[in-house]
């Protein structure tokens, strides 16, 4: 079931195009089971039809070469998986690959594919992209069709691409979404850097990137960031529990996922109601700040990733998603792009744009990449 690096759980050869794609194993591919990295789904029957994103990918002339590994049930940030094996982090092998789209990130970082398709409910594309030193886009909520993606219902989850090359990622988005167009534009983006709590080395690298591109690195606050993180945790816990509770007493869940699901069972309707109120207020706060700016800029990760050894010893770190998860709550598009490593540790910048302006985020990233000495 495993590949050498555990990035893939199935080898495929579907489609005829030259560009290779791996698809997270929470996304249906007809003829193959969708197991979501979970032993409780070991006997799942093959999917009877492709997920919508798979159909679009094949129709656009891409070739599917594998189903990608993931953190079990897409419910974790480390990327560790005791059942399918943990994908190796090709560029930073002492560190976790990040989750939950660990295999998708590791596969593109290792050169196994040009595109990895992942899902992002609370940072699950952007966190592994940052950990593995590649690009990862969480589109605007609802932009890419989620039919055929586990779980069937989510108010937070987005399908999106990862790639080791920004132009390759942009081309994929244009191929699977006819409304997406990020044509070349040399106009400097109107950018607002956010004041957030992060490791000083990471904050310094982000500022250096902006300054070397000739952009203002002066930061300003975004209200309700902490509250949005907490609210997004409430909603992902409730929605994942509702989707996954049939397997809770199977005896076949990983210990970390089982603990999180049992805790999620205690989420109350009152907590959900309060989280929805925070969602509305935070989304409005982001919208207000973006009225005068094309994109917001902040680190992808608040601190450096755990070592693989620490994670395997049982250390947990959900707060690694503190700067990405709020934008799942608000629904805004967000792109993680790698910067130059800091003493062998990955650093990434996150750009957030107006809802629906995914292309604007990508254009801003292309501008930074062309002009910043701080990008790899």
Residue 372 appears among annotated catalytic residues:
no
Among 73, 205, 209, 158, smallest CA distance to 358 is for: 158
State the Cα–Cα distance between residues 119 and 113, nearest whole angstrom.
17
First to last CA, the chain: 34
Catalytic residue among 6, 24, 67, 154: 24
Distance (Å) of CA 46 to CA 41, 103, 171, 250, 253 = 11, 20, 30, 20, 21
State the Cα–Cα distance between residues 220 and 195, nearest whole angstrom.
5
Residue for token digits 């987005």?
158
Catalytic residue among 3, 6, 26, 124: 124
| Degrees to nearest 5, angle at CA 44 with 51 and 156 | 45
Count of residues for the chain?
376
Residue 336 appears among annotated catalytic residues:
no
Catalytic residue among 6, 100, 102, 154: 100
Interacting residues of 256 by C-beta distance below 8 A, sequence separation 6+ = 72, 76, 80, 316
37: left (phi over 0), alpha (psi -120 to 50) or beta: left
CB 88 within 8 A of CB 340: no
Which residue stretches of the chain are H helix? Answer: 52-59, 102-109, 126-132, 166-176, 200-212, 225-244, 255-264, 269-290, 308-312, 326-330, 358-371
Residue for token digits 């998986």?
81
Residue 6 appears among annotated catalytic residues:
no
User: Which active-site residues does the annotation give?
Assistant: 24, 100, 124
């Amino acid at each position: 079931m495993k590949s050498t690096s555990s990035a893939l759980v199935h080898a495929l050869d579907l489609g005829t195009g030259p560009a290779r794609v791996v698809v997270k194993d929470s996304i249906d591919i007809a003829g193959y089971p969708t197991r979501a990295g979970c032993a409780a789904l070991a006997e799942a029957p093959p999917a009877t039809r492709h997920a919508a994103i798979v159909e679009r990918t094949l129709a656009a002339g891409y070739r599917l070469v594998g189903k990608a590994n993931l953190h079990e049930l897409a419910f974790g940030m480390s990327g560790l998986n005791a059942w399918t094996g943990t994908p190796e982090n090709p560029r930073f092998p002492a560190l976790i690959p990040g989750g939950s789209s660990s295999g998708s990130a590791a596969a593109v970082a290792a050169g196994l594919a040009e595109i990895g398709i992942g899902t992002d409910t609370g940072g699950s594309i952007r966190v592994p992209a940052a950990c593995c030193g590649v690009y990862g886009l969480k589109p605007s909520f609802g932009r890419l069709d989620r039919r055929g993606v586990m779980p069937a219902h989510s108010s937070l989850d987005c399908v999106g691409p990862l790639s080791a090359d920004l132009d390759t990622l942009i081309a994929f988005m244009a191929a699977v979404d006819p409304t997406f167009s990020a044509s070349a534009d040399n106009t400097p983006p109107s950018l607002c850097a956010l004041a957030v709590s992060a490791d000083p080395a990471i904050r310094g690298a982000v500022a250096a990137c902006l300054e070397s591109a000739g952009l203002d690195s002066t930061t300003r606050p975004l209200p309700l960031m902490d509250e949005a993180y907490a609210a997004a945790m409430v909603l992902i816990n409730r929605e994942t529990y509702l989707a996954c509770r049939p397997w809770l007493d199977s005896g076949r869940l990983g210990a970390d996922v089982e603990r999180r699901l049992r805790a999620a069972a205690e989420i109350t309707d009152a907590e959900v109601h309060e989280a929805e109120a925070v969602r509305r207020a935070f989304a409005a706060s982001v919208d207000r700040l973006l009225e005068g700016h094309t994109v917001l800029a902040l680190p992808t990760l608040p601190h450096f990733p755990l070592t693989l050894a620490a994670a395997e010893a049982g250390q947990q770190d959900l707060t690694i998603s503190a700067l990405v998860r709020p934008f799942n709550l608000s629904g805004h598009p967000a792109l993680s792009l790698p910067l130059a490593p800091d003493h062998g540790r990955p650093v990434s910048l996150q750009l957030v744009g107006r809802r629906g302006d995914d292309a604007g985020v990508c254009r801003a990233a292309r501008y930074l990449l062309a002009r910043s000495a701080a990008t790899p």
